[in-house]
Structure 1
Amino acid sequence: MGLPTEPIGSVPRPPDLLTALSSGGDASAAQERAVAETVRQMEEVGSPVVTDGEQSKPSFATYPVAGLAALASDGVAIPFADGHTRQLPRLTAGPFRYRHHAVEYLRAAQRVARVPVKQAVIAPSALSLLYPADGIAGYSREQFLGDLADEAEKDIRDCLDADAHVVQLDFTEGRLSLKLDPSGSVLDDFLALNNRVLERFSDAERARIGVHTCPGSDQDSTHSLDIDYAELLPKLFRLKAGNFYIQLAGEPDPDRVLAVAADHLPAGARLFIGVTDPIDPRVETAEEVRDRVLAAARHLPLDRMGTCDDCGFSPFADDTSTSRETAFAKIRARVEGTALASEALGV
């Protein structure tokens, strides 16, 4: 069957969708066309699992609260290495509820896909940053976290019930937390909250749940690549998930990361390693991908390996830093290179 390979999520939107979104009118028809075209192109480059490319999400992080009334714009700012920032909203009142659930995007992709569809959801730890440090009158942080856990569980469970191939929690804030708080206490809080949700699922359900981590990928910049992966991975692997997706192609010392991962990967979990770098404008060759997989196979058991892209190609709806054509070329290289490695490894 070969090693499994999966996309992470986002793909740059096509020009007609960008035009429809900028016009301020109803973009639903353009979004529907973009989803169908994205799924078709993923299938054409041979991807055995597809996503909707997040064509309809305002961003991978804030889709659940898009249009929520009880939000202010001055929330936590995420600084990137090139100097730009992305700012989260700030919750102003409770109770906290999602306005949109990921199953909406999953069902739209399933209507046009001929292969299994995976669905990315935002980790509850990321949305915990919406609660202000000075609190909300009449709505405690503990009440908020309880409501958030319930909503995050529903987001995941609805996708599992709708037959998602895998539900992937996007946890890019994990590595960032160690930059903002080197003591690791914020990371510990993030992991505890995520496990509070993951513990509500059975072992069989968790086998279809994954966690993705990376140092950020926006406008060809990262927010935490300077943080040592060795500080994150041992704790990351305590999350009660069956699959882990880690950025690796963009790492300066991938062998060192793989050695740490091999020492801490939980029994029964599968590790998908990033073999294409969305930030690098150069398209990897299939042979380069093959060689990255073969290098990983020196550290990891073959039955617990897979491949992925390092990150989504446009997670914050940045549709210009990487072209749509480049994204699909890299996806093709990942698929073909993984097949070459599978043949070389005899799997």
Structure 2
Amino acid sequence: MTAQLPPLPTMVVGSLPQPDWLIDRERLGHQFPPRVRAAELWRVPEQFLAEAQDDATLVTIRAQEEAGLDVLTDGEIRRESYSNHFATALDGLDLDNPGSVRNRSGIDIPVPRVTGEIRRPRPVQVDDVRFLRAHTDRAVKITVPGPFTMAQQAQNDHYPDDRALALAYADVVREEIADLFAAGADIVQVDEPWLQARPDVARKYGAEALTRAIEGAAGPVHVHLCFGYAAMVAERPDGYSFLPELADTPAHTISVETAQSSLDPASLRPLRGKGIALGVLDLSTPEVETPEVVADRVRRALDDVDVDKLMLSSDCGLKYLPRASAVGKMRSLARAAAIVRAELG
């Protein structure tokens, strides 16, 4: 680990709001997160886009530092969605003639169409990690979409079944994780929201695909489960449909939301022995919680987790919040951690 972490280290799940001068936030907020490329969302001409994304990422890094977070991400500033940046960089896809799947809201959306062997022609996010590592001395985390989620977000016109597709995705995720740690990542987070969204399918091969992707990683791998962005999925169940199944995977830490869903912390008990990244920021409202409100959300989970392995986080990405709200919520998270640390001695 680059920086020594305090007890109850703080971080966000991954994404942070992109500036309005960089991306059309109004348009972004009124469509489901894209699974194919959506270059039309960017406001900056292509020849200047990479430089603009770097500048916006620097602003995001500084915002996290100034808020007092212990583990920083790049805010996923260069991505149109959490998954399409990586998923569309692979070989074996027909992106010009996309397929279709029904998303978690019951709407058919365009997705990559798998027409050949899934391959990773080159590292996808290594430069992102290097940029992040070069601009902070704090611990850094990078996120990558998980194999089960990517398989559910693709139309399979090549592999014999969806399990084979998920395992092919697992192989490219494993390759990427190795390169991300070699490039300086302290933590790699694998985003697997569809394990929660499609538990019946996930129980058949979700844990198998995840294990194949993360086994033997050179550093701690976090697995993020959520109920979806609050801006897109309003109804939250009060419990996870796929959680105990993660106990036997090689995941170092499981990232869960508790603020928006009012999750009963007792449901985390099957994961004792693993780290928990506890989501304690409510992203369904731009209102900034006080540090004391956030601290209360932490306290209610302390009896059900291994406190020495507990990290504090946002429920999900902050991508769709106003930037001022995101900054305020990050500050409240850092201050809540200080409150609870003092109580625990």
Normalised by the length of structure 1, the TM-score is: 0.84
Contact 2:130 2:184 in 1 (8 A): no
CA distance in 1, matches of 2:99, 2:71: 37
Q: 1:120 aligns with which of 140, 143, 146?
A: 143
CA distance in 2, matches of 1:185, 1:89: 19
* Matched letter for residue 197 of structure 2: L
> Residues 340 and 88 from structure 1, CA distance in 2 versus in 1: closer, same or farther, beyond 3 angstroms?
farther
CA distance in 2, matches of 1:227, 1:78: 20
Q: 2:82 aligns with which of 57, 60, 73?
A: 60
Deviation track 1:235-272 (CA, whole Å, cap 9, x = no partner) reads: 133321111110111113x3x2x11212x1142x2111
* Residues 1:210 and 2:205 aligned together: no
CA distance in 2, matches of 1:188, 1:343: 44
Specify the SS of the correspondent of 2:140.
Answer: coil
Residue of structure 2 in register with 1:171 after alignment: 192
> Residues 243 and 34 from structure 1, CA distance in 2 versus in 1: closer, same or farther, beyond 3 angstroms?
same
CA distance in 2, matches of 1:36, 1:187: 40
CA distance in 2, matches of 1:95, 1:194: 19
Deviation track 1:82-131 (CA, whole Å, cap 9, x = no partner) reads: x8x58351324212224662223211212222312101111011111255
Q: 1:11 aligns with which of 9, 16, 30?
A: 16
* Residues 1:74 and 2:87 aligned together: no
Q: Percent identity?
A: 26
> Residues 88 and 166 from structure 1, CA distance in 2 versus in 1: closer, same or farther, beyond 3 angstroms?
farther
CA distance in 2, matches of 1:91, 1:101: 19
Q: 2:212 aligns with which of 193, 196, 213?
A: 196
Specify the SS of the correspondent of 1:125.
Answer: helix
* Matched letter for residue 196 of structure 2: R
> Residues 124 and 223 from structure 1, CA distance in 2 versus in 1: closer, same or farther, beyond 3 angstroms?
farther
Specify the SS of the correspondent of 1:52.
Answer: coil
* Matched letter for residue 224 of structure 2: H
> Residues 91 and 248 from structure 1, CA distance in 2 versus in 1: closer, same or farther, beyond 3 angstroms?
same
Residue of structure 2 in register with 1:97 after alignment: 119
Q: 2:173 aligns with which of 135, 148, 152?
A: 152
CA distance in 2, matches of 1:53, 1:145: 26
Following TM superposition, by how much is the alpha carbon of 1:312 offset from its aligned partner in structure 2, in angstroms?
0.6
Contact 1:216 1:224 in 2 (8 A): no
* Matched letter for residue 192 of structure 1: E
How many residues end up aligned between the 2 structures? 318
Normalised by the length of structure 2, the TM-score is: 0.84
Contact 1:247 1:310 in 2 (8 A): yes
* Matched letter for residue 52 of structure 1: D
CA distance in 2, matches of 1:174, 1:223: 18
**More deviation in 26-35 or 16-25?**
16-25
Root-mean-square deviation (CA, aligned residues, Å) is 2.4
* Matched letter for residue 250 of structure 1: Q
Q: 1:261 aligns with which of 265, 268, 271?
A: 268
Unaligned residue ranges in structure 2 (runs of 5+): 1-5, 25-40
Unaligned residue ranges in structure 1 (runs of 5+): 179-183, 315-320
* Matched letter for residue 288 of structure 2: V
> Residues 224 and 95 from structure 1, CA distance in 2 versus in 1: closer, same or farther, beyond 3 angstroms?
farther
Following TM superposition, by how much is the alpha carbon of 1:300 offset from its aligned partner in structure 2, in angstroms?
2.3
